Amino acid sequence: MLGEVSTVSQFSFFIIFALLGTVLSIKLRQPYVVGLLIFGMLSGPNALGIIVDEQLISTFSELGAVLLLFAVGIEFSLPKIMKSGLKAVVITILKMGVLFLVSYEAALFFGLDLTSSLVVGAMFSITSTTILFKLVTEKGMAKNPTLSLLFSMLILEDVAAIAALTFFSTIGSSAATYEDKLLSVFLSLGFLGVFYSLIRKPAERLIVDLTSSLSLEIVVFVSFSLCLVMSMIADFAGLSPAIGAFLAGSIISGLPNSRKIEKAIRPLLMMFASLFFLSLGMQVDPKIVLSNLPFSISLTILFVLVCFASVFALLYLTGSKSEKAIFGASAAVVLGEFSLIIASTYKGEHSGLLIAAGSFGVVATAIVSSFLLDRQKVIIRMKERLAPSWLQSSSRPLASYTSGLIKDFSPNGAFWKVSRLCWACISKKLAHIAAIALAVFLVRQATVMFLPPSIATPYLRASILTAGILAVIYYIYLILLDLRPLADTLSRTITRHKSKSAPEKAILRDILAAVILAFLAFNVHEIVFYLHLPKIFLWVDELLFITAAAFLWDILIQAQRLRSGAK
């Protein structure tokens, strides 16, 4: 043990082991995170004890998380998300939802409490942007056309991970419900958002002015100062300092010379990112890993299987060919570095176990993803040989349905265009309703203030109110008429009947779909209770009811077709 070694010497060991971990990863042709986690675990206080200063380890862990989120913020680009379209959004939500549910239930099965299980669900629903990019670049696959969609998905996952980080960083030992915690998070984010809105433009102008008049070193210093200021504000608001760092990075990303600034500060960011992963490895207790090895292995296997299957199915069902879907699924089965940040932020009873399971998962899945990417042709042949013919034939109509559905709901799709036209009509009528309500209120007040009591009777005020209500009812009727094209388009988009299809068959299919959806909607409460999910998941019944209503509306349309055909 080297417990008497000075802080400076232990800092030197930090740098040396970070270098050794990076070199080991390069030699093994693995992402640098793998070597850093392994060297951190071996050199930390829970193994060889070469580095035992827990305060130094904690400092690098917190500072590394802040600067890592700052780097993610610089990479964050809202135009990229908008350009990715609805397809990336749908795939990301469904993929993360499936992984969250499976991991969450597995954690409950292993006896973890509700909060720790929620953390596990969030951890094991995220794919690593850094490791994925490293793997495909080293294997010469960086020009694969599926990567543009994958990276759009990863941007959305990073945003979701930041939301999860915000939530779990506020969970303490208080008895407040998760709904109260969520409300607290929203209030804190609102405060931080107001500050962000106020400081963004002045900060951008200041950095642009400094770039044009001062050296790049000063610009780098100002950028890091902005990162630390936003981190302190986030900490003051009761959030993780890393959230403020992400917002600071997003300010930098909006500058016209953001690429120049990013290039200047990236080496320093990468160094602290290396120290962050090394410090996380030092927090892993090998005894905890070994004693809970079935837990870590089970979660990792579930992540790989469910992630591969869900990403492949979602890519295929949204229009990608089998080869591209297999490549996307193989690249996506690597656990993200955000998983480790979430685990390190959570300070609950099982925090050590979660860091150990996350570190094991990151190392194992990086190796698995590398293995799968090297054997694409073998996987394709296995899929062609093992997949039943009925499954392949039935999946094609489903893929056509989902692709068309996403296309219609995307910007410039059929539903999007009709909804914009309907809103243009409805917004005017809503303005008229607001004007009528204001006029009724003012006239009623005027009758009391300016007319004598003999004239300003309750009957007069009731008559004014009645006239206003009738006018409002008339405009509501007009709004319902304006909504008819939107309801028709929504129904056609969801049901997707062929124009020449028989109305009888369409009605039977609509009835079956509506009954199934209504049955699921009525049983959402029981499902949520049975799976021990938080109450926030109860909103799913509303989505199911709306979809069922679309099928019921289509039944009316098809019945009209049937009657007109009979005549």
Tokens linked to 347 = 């300070």
pLDDT of residue 307: 92
Residue 348's pLDDT is 72
176 φ/ψ sector (left φ>0, alpha ψ -120 to 50, else beta): beta
The closest of 91, 43, 69 to 342, measured between CA atoms, is: 69
In sequence order, what are the residues at sequence separation of 6 or more whose Cβ sits closer than 8 angstroms to the Cβ of residue 408? 414, 415, 416, 493
Rounded distance, CA 310 to CA 98, Å? 8
Closest among 302, 287, 282 to 110, alpha carbons compared: 302
- What is the sign, positive or negative, of the torsion defined by CA atoms of 255, 259, 265, 266? positive
Phi and psi dihedrals of 387, rounded to 5? Answer: -70, 125
* pLDDT at res. 2: 45
pLDDT at residue 178, as a whole number? 57
| Class of the CATH domain delimited by 7-382 | mainly alpha
Integer angstrom CA distances of residue 226 from 230, 478, 525: 6, 52, 46
Judge contact between 127 and 323, C-beta under 8 A: no
Q: Is residue 363 within 8 Å of residue 37, measured between CB atoms?
A: yes
- What one-letter code names the amino acid at 243? I
Q: For the chain, give percent helix, strand, coil, nearest 5.
A: 80, 0, 20
Dihedral, 107, 112, 118, 120 alpha carbons, nearest 10: -50
Burial of residue 483 (number of CB atoms within 10 Å: 0-12, 13-18, 19+): middle
Could you give the CA distance from residue 138 to residue 136 in angstroms, rounded to a whole number?
6
Provide Rg for the chain, Cα atoms. Answer: 29
Tell me which residue of 310, 348, 30, 12 sits closest to 174, measured CA to CA: 348
Asked if 146 and 324 count as a contact pair (C-beta separation under 8 A), the reply is yes
- Is there a contact between 510 and 558 (Cβ–Cβ < 8 Å)? yes
**CB-based contacts of 192, cutoff 8 Å, min separation 6:** 233, 234, 237, 239, 243, 244, 247
Tokens matching residue 83: 């350009």
254 contacts 196 by C-beta, under 8 angstroms:
no
Q: In the chain, what are the domain boundaries?
A: 7-382, 412-496, 497-567
Helices 114-123 and 78-109 cross at an angle (nearest 10°) of 140
Instruction: Locate 32 and state its tokens.
Output: 């640098």
Task: State the pLDDT at residue 529.
Answer: 81
Kindly report the number of other CB atoms within 10 A of residue 50's CB atom: 19
Tell me how far apart the alpha carbons of residues 22 and 33 are, in angstroms, rounded to a whole number.
8
Coil vs helix vs strand at 413: coil
pLDDT at 173: 44
How far apart CA 253 and CA 209 sit, in angstroms, is 16
Q: List the chain pLDDT tens, one digit each, 567 residues.
A: 444 556 677 777 777 777 787 777 777 776 777 777 788 888 777 777 777 777 777 777 777 777 777 877 777 655 556 665 678 888 888 999 899 999 998 988 888 888 888 888 888 988 887 778 777 777 777 777 787 788 778 878 877 777 777 777 666 544 455 555 666 566 656 666 666 667 777 777 777 776 666 666 777 777 778 888 888 877 776 666 777 787 788 777 777 767 777 777 777 777 777 777 788 777 777 777 788 888 889 999 999 999 999 999 888 888 788 888 888 888 889 887 778 778 877 777 777 788 888 888 888 888 888 888 888 888 888 877 777 776 666 677 777 778 777 877 777 777 888 888 888 888 888 888 889 888 888 887 777 776 666 665 677 777 888 888 898 899 898 888 888 888 888 777 777 766 566 777 778 888 888 889 888 888 888 888 877 777 767 778 888 888 888 888 888 877 877 777 655
User: Which pLDDT score is estimated for 213?
Assistant: 65
CA 16 vs CA 20, 23, 40, 220, 549: distances in Å: 6, 11, 11, 25, 63
Q: What is the pLDDT of residue 338?
A: 77
CB 405 within 8 A of CB 493: yes
Strand partners, 127: 335
Reported pTM: 0.74
The predicted pLDDT at position 549 comes to 84
